[in-house]
């Protein structure tokens, strides 16, 4: 046995080697220190070196930039009445990845949405790799809340805006409408889309794994609402125009109609109505033809509404005066292979009589006194063959062939409204020019917008032609039904055959264009009734003139325009008062005979 001596000198037996605790402890501490250093290094790498990379990955899972919806600008009429407003609505959307984890809830969701289950399953499956899909857009907030109350995983809602048109069909063609994304599609909504639409905002939010917003991180961009727009339209006159057009179509069996009312001095369009029409609050893909604004897009041969323009051209050239006599006998004259005919043989007529009786022969003989180039240029200055510049989308320019393309009969037929085409707005604009003492003012749909103006006819000639047109609505004229008690009315009827198969059919377009009051012109209006039933009457004086009378009578009262024909105004007032007295007279005298008669019948 081996021995060893300890520190005290005591001799002890030598055993196994003593355990080295201190060395092992150092080893363990060193290892832990290295691990800690590695963790610190990794933390530095994550937080400092590759911070952007890992932050991007984390943000991709939970940080989202969501849009802040903004309302579209309001459209009002000239008096501030709302014509188009944006109302807040909700849209229901879903996260397909989350929804597909709970397929057993899809039938319940389909029931809540009111869609077939197979349609919903197909829609979600097609976007299985996406995180967003609209399920139902622009619905009442209460309806969206009811859907969310079912707490179906992956289904959420967001705020949007929907366009609403309080006037409905009456202003549909002027305003147009917006699509599902609130972008203008037609009419004023399209023409002023950039002005009206505004700029959506954006904000960063943190969503949890269920897609719920748990924190608003940052406002990226504030929402900017669209700007409001004030139109020149007067809602009241627009309603009158729409109402009278509808009544006329019902009465005459016509297929369509248009009417335009213009403020003579400013060129502002006070009303623009068309039928058939549509409901802008519920636009569908059906009946697209009804969405056409015929007043600015449809081209028609203007018929006899051209005769005052022809007379103005000849007077401006100095070749006639209002008293110049035109021999219209025997009531017709050659026109190439055809004839230019009057309703009957009017014999010798003054130029005023040519307009009063609407003589085609008289108009043709007048235009033959004019040079081709001069006549073409005059019509162009009056607005025919070129856009009025109203700014309405899709406005037609009309058709005015250059003299180089005229045949031997073109000038003659153009003098009474055939061989050229115009829109109802162009016709109204031409009459507004005559009413404005020969100054053409660019039409506009925006209140207060100053358009270009140009003196195209001398004031003396324009005023003289207006006086001639006044005879049309007086006894002996072709449009006595356009007369308005208390006001002098100037106007012209027109009845044009519709082109068909290279010739003309027995279907008609009926016109009336007029100005009121003559002494101090305020309004110009053109009425076009397309294809009235010939059996119910088709002449412009019978079909279109009453529309003018009803609308202008109401407009003059609404705008407090003083009468310029005091005698007829006083007579009309006396007649109304007599009717009122008759209605309010005591009925006692009539009651006894009525009872007696009833007894006799018994």
- Helix/strand/coil (H/E/C) assignment for every residue in 123-163: HHHHCCCCCCEEEEEEECHHHHHHHHCCCCCCEEEEEEEEE
Q: Are residues 97 and 78 in the same domain?
A: yes
Return the pLDDT at 27.
Answer: 82
Strand, coil or helix: 270: strand
Distance CA 6, CA 9 (A): 5
Q: Is the pLDDT of residue 561 over 60?
A: yes
Helix axes 459-470, 307-317, angle to 10 degrees: 140
Return the pLDDT at 52.
Answer: 63
What's the CATH code of the domain at 116? 3.90.1310.10
Number of domains composing the chain: 3
Nearest to 438 by CA among 423, 416, 471, 460: 460
Return the pLDDT at 504.
Answer: 83
Greatest mean pLDDT among 26-30, 57-61, 349-353 lies in 349-353
Find the mean pLDDT for residues 480-498: 94
Q: Domain ends where: 209, 230, 251?
A: 230
Residue 589 lies in a domain: yes
Residue 406 lies in a domain: yes
Distance CA 26, CA 6 (A): 26
Percent of the chain's residues with pLDDT above 70: 87
Mean pLDDT of the chain: 87
562-602 confidence digits (pLDDT tens): 998 888 778 777 887 888 888 787 554 444 443 333 333 32
Query: CA distances (Å), 46 to each of 34, 35, 50, 206, in order?
Result: 18, 16, 5, 21
Q: Are residues 207 and 305 in the same domain?
A: no
Q: Are residues 390 and 343 in the same domain?
A: yes
Please check whether residue 429 is in contact with residue 453, taking contact to mean a CB–CB distance below 8 angstroms. no
Q: Is 151 left (phi over 0), alpha (psi -120 to 50) or beta?
A: left
Q: Are residues 152 and 225 in the same domain?
A: yes
Residue 32 lies in a domain: no
Find the mean pLDDT for residues 195-205: 77
Q: Are residues 241 and 224 in the same domain?
A: no
Q: Count of residues for the chain?
A: 602
Q: Which residue has better confidence, 553 or 127?
A: 553
CA 469 to chain CA mean position, Å: 33
Return the pLDDT at 81.
Answer: 96
Q: Is the pLDDT of residue 262 over 60?
A: yes
Residue 30 lies in a domain: no
Q: Are residues 147 and 200 in the same domain?
A: yes
Name the token pair of 507: 């279907």
What sign does the dihedral 497-499-500-504 (CA atoms) show? Answer: positive
Nearest to 78 by CA among 550, 450, 449: 449
Q: Are residues 507 and 579 in the same domain?
A: no
Return the pLDDT at 602.
Answer: 28
Please check whether residue 525 is in contact with residue 262, taking contact to mean a CB–CB distance below 8 angstroms. yes
Strand, coil or helix: 408: coil
Q: What is the pTM of this model?
A: 0.81
Find the mean pLDDT for residues 317-346: 94
Name the token pair of 450: 């100053």
Strand, coil or helix: 441: strand
Q: Domain ends where: 230, 245, 265?
A: 230
Catalytically active residues, by annotation? 304
Range of the domain at 481: 235-278+293-564
Q: Are residues 405 and 420 in the same domain?
A: yes
218-232 confidence digits (pLDDT tens): 666 677 889 999 999
446-477 confidence digits (pLDDT tens): 999 988 999 999 999 999 999 999 999 999 99
With cut-offs at 50, 70 and 90, classify the pLDDT of residue 16.
low
Greatest mean pLDDT among 16-30, 100-114, 542-556 lies in 542-556
Nearest to 310 by CA among 490, 510, 460, 457: 457
Return the pLDDT at 593.
Answer: 42
Q: Is the pLDDT of residue 198 over 60?
A: yes
Q: Is 262 exposed, middle or buried (0-12, 13-18, 19+ CB in 10 A)?
A: buried
Q: Are residues 487 and 508 in the same domain?
A: yes
The backbone torsions φ and ψ at residue 462, rounded to the nearest 5 degrees and listed phi first, read -60, -45
Least confident range of 128-137, 506-515, 578-587: 578-587
- The H-or-E segment that residue 109 falls in is helix 106-113
Residue 7 lies in a domain: no
Q: Is the pLDDT of residue 429 over 50?
A: yes
334-348 confidence digits (pLDDT tens): 998 889 999 999 999
Query: For every residue of 477-510, which 3-state class applies, written as one string?
Result: CCCHHHCECCECCEEEEEEEEEEECCEEEEEEEE
Q: Are residues 250 and 327 in the same domain?
A: yes
Find the mean pLDDT for residues 254-268: 97
Q: Are residues 399 and 267 in the same domain?
A: yes
Q: Which residue has better confidence, 310 or 577?
A: 310
Least confident range of 5-9, 220-224, 315-319: 5-9
Residue 107 lies in a domain: yes
Residue 327 lies in a domain: yes
Distance CA 583, CA 593 (A): 18
Return the pLDDT at 599.
Answer: 33
Alpha helices by DSSP H, 187-318: 187-191, 193-197, 235-252, 294-297, 307-317
Return the pLDDT at 11.
Answer: 58
CB-CB neighbours of 289 under 10 Å: 10
Least confident range of 124-133, 298-307, 364-373, 550-559: 124-133
Distance CA 77, CA 167 (A): 11
511-543 confidence digits (pLDDT tens): 999 999 999 999 999 999 999 999 999 999 999
Q: Which residues pair with 571 in a beta bridge?
A: none
Distance CA 27, CA 95 (A): 54
Q: Are residues 270 and 177 in the same domain?
A: no
Residue 56 lies in a domain: no
CA end-to-end distance (rounded Å), the chain: 159
């Amino acid at each position: 046995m081996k021995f060893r001596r300890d520190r005290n000198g005591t001799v002890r037996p030598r055993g196994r080697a003593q355990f080295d605790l201190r060395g092992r402890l150092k080893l363990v501490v060193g290892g832990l220190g290295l691990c800690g250093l590695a963790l610190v290094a990794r933390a530095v790498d994550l937080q400092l070196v590759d911070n952007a990379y890992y932050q991007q990955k984390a943000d991709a899972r939970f940080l989202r930039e969501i849009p802040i919806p903004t309302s579209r600008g309001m459209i009002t009429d000239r008096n501030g009445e709302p014509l188009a407003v944006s109302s807040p609505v909700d849209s229901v959307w879903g996260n397909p990845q989350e929804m597909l984890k709970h397929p057993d809830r899809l039938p319940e969701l389909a029931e809540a949405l009111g869609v077939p289950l197979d349609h919903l399953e197909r829609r979600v499956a097609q976007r299985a790799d996406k995180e967003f899909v609209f399920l139902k857009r622009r619905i009442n907030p209460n309806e969206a809340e009811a859907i969310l109350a079912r707490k179906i995983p992956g289904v959420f809602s967001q705020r949007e805006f929907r366009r609403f048109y309080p006037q409905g069909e009456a202003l549909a063609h002027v305003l147009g409408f917006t699509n599902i994304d609130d972008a203008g599609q037609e009419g004023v909504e399209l023409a002023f889309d950039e002005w009206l639409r505004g700029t959506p905002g954006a904000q960063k939010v943190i969503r949890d794994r269920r897609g719920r917003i748990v924190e608003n991180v940052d406002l990226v961009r504030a929402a900017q609402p669209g700007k409001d727009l004030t139109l020149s339209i007067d809602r009241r006159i627009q309603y009158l125009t729409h109402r009278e057009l509808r009544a006329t179509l019902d009465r005459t069996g016509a297929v369509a109609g248009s009417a335009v009312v213009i403020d003579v001095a400013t060129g502002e369009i006070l009303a623009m109505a068309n039928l058939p029409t549509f409901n802008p609050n519920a636009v569908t893909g059906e009946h697209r033809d009804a969405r056409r604004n015929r007043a600015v897009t449809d081209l028609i041969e203007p018929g006899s509404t051209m005769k005052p323009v022809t007379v103005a051209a000849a007077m401006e050239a100095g070749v006639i005066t209002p008293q110049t006599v035109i021999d219209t006998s025997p009531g017709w004259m050659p026109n190439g292979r055809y004839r230019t005919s009057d309703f009957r043989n009017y014999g010798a007529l003054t130029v005023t009589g040519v307009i009063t009786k609407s003589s085609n022969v008289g108009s043709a003989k007048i235009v033959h006194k004019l040079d081709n180039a001069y006549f073409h240029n005059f019509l162009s200055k009056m607005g025919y063959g070129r856009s009025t510049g109203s700014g309405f989308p899709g406005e037609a320019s009309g058709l005015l062939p250059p003299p180089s393309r005229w045949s031997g009969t073109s000038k003659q037929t153009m003098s009474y409204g055939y061989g050229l085409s115009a829109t109802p707005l162009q016709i109204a604009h031409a009459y507004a020019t005559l009413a404005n003492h020969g100054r053409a003012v660019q039409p506009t749909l925006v209140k207060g917008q100053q358009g270009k103006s140009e003196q195209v006819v001398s004031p003396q000639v324009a005023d003289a032609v207006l006086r001639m047109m006044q005879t049309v609505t007086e006894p002996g004229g072709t449009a006595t039904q356009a007369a308005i008690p208390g006001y002098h009315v100037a106007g012209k009827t027109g009845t044009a055959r519709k082109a068909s198969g290279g010739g003309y059919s027995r279907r008609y377009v009926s016109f009336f264009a007029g100005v009121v009051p003559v002494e101090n012109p305020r309004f110009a209006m053109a009425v076009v009734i397309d294809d009235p039933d010939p059996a119910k009457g088709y002449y412009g004086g019978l079909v279109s003139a009453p529309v003018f009378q009803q609308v202008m009578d109401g407009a003059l009262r609404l705008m407090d325009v003083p009468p310029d024909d005091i005698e007829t105004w006083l007579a009309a007032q006396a007649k109304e008062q007599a009717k009122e007295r008759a209605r309010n007279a005591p009925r006692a005298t009539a009651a006894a005979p009525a009872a007696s008669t009833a007894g006799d019948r018994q």
